Amino acid sequence: MLLKDGRIDHALNMSKKVVGCFSYTWRRRSELSEAQKELKLPEHKLKTEFPTRWRSKQAMIARVLEQQSAISCVLSMDKKVRHLVPTWQDIEVLEAVNNSLSPLAEFTDALSGEQYVSVSYVKPVLHLFNNTIFEEKEGETELSKCIKRKILDYLNKKYDDPQTEEVLDMASVVDPRFKDRVEAVKIHLRTEMASIYTFMKPQPSVTVCEEADDQNTPALKKTK
């Protein structure tokens, strides 16, 4: 949804076909390994995208970019797949996508941690995205700026609900690593706790018999 663009679709389809070329042929994998050694590149395997995992899309793109020289070297020697050699336009698009999705990958990794309460990370990370990471930089391509705007718009709308924001604020304030808006959230927490206590506080009960006795008991006469 975030990456609906003809240029991006073309570059991603090309990347998937490239990965497929090396996945199904042992000979090409061997040639890729030799090219990696010759070009002094990391001897990493190409990564496959899983449609249900967006994180795998970014991992596939990053690996194609890392190995683009070795990939081009191997594919250019085989006329059957020479047309799959990434063009400079494809590389430019893939770099724009990768630069935009990489921070999201780190965001996902942080929120999926099992050793801490991840919900407390949401507001601080969103603040970081809006004010630093996805800030438009001089020299960026228009495509890169467009992707960043779409990502920010999506994330901000996803958490743009007053009740959701209150929960996220309270989660962050009880995490000692985040100190922003501490006093305001503390006041809100005290108010919430006071209202909950008032609501749940047991009220004194009066039985029917006691009410009847109060109504039927005659007033005491004054003694002279």
Q: Which residue has the higher pLDDT, 127 or 173?
A: 127
Does residue 219 register a pLDDT over 80? no
Q: Look at 56-60, 114-118, 165-169, 185-189 and tell me which has the smallest mean pLDDT.
A: 185-189
Amino acid present at 52: T
Q: What is the pLDDT, as a whole number, of residue 209?
A: 43
Q: Look at 55-59, 170-174, 203-207 and tell me which has the smallest mean pLDDT.
A: 203-207
Residue 49's pLDDT band (cuts 50, 70, 90): confident
Does residue 6 register a pLDDT over 90? no
Q: Which residue has the higher pLDDT, 153 or 193?
A: 153
Cβ 28 vs Cβ 63: under 8 Å: no
Residue 200's pLDDT band (cuts 50, 70, 90): low
Print the SS3 string covering the chain.
CCCCCHHHHHHHHHHHHHHHHHHCCHHHHHHHHHHHHHHCCCCCCCCCCECCEHHHHHHHHHHHHHCHHHHHHHHCCCCCCHHHCCCHHHHHHHHHHHHHHHHHHHHHHHHCCCCCCHHHHHHHHHHHHHHHHCCCCCCCCHHHHHHHHHHHHHHHHHCCCHHHHHHHHHHHHCCCCCCCCHHHHHHHHHHHHHHHHHHHCCCCCCCHHHHHHHHHCCCCCCCC
The model carries a pTM of 0.66
Return mean pLDDT, the chain: 77
